[in-house]
Amino acid sequence: MGKTSARYAPEVRERAVRMVGDHAADHGSQWAAIQSIAPKIGCTAETLRRWVRGAERASVPGAEARAEEAARVKALEREVRECPIFCV
Q: What is the pLDDT of residues 52-78, one digit of tens each?
A: 999 998 887 877 777 888 899 999 999
The band of 80, judged by pLDDT with boundaries at 50, 70 and 90, is: confident
- Cα–Cα distance, 85 to 11 (Å, whole number): 47
What ranges do the domains of the chain cover?
Answer: 10-62
pLDDT at 87: 58
pTM: 0.65
Amino acid symbol at 5: S
Neighbours of 19 (CB within 10 A): 19
CATH of 10-62, one of 3.20.20.60, 1.10.3720.10, 1.10.10.10, 3.40.630.10: 1.10.10.10
Neighbours of 35 (CB within 10 A): 16
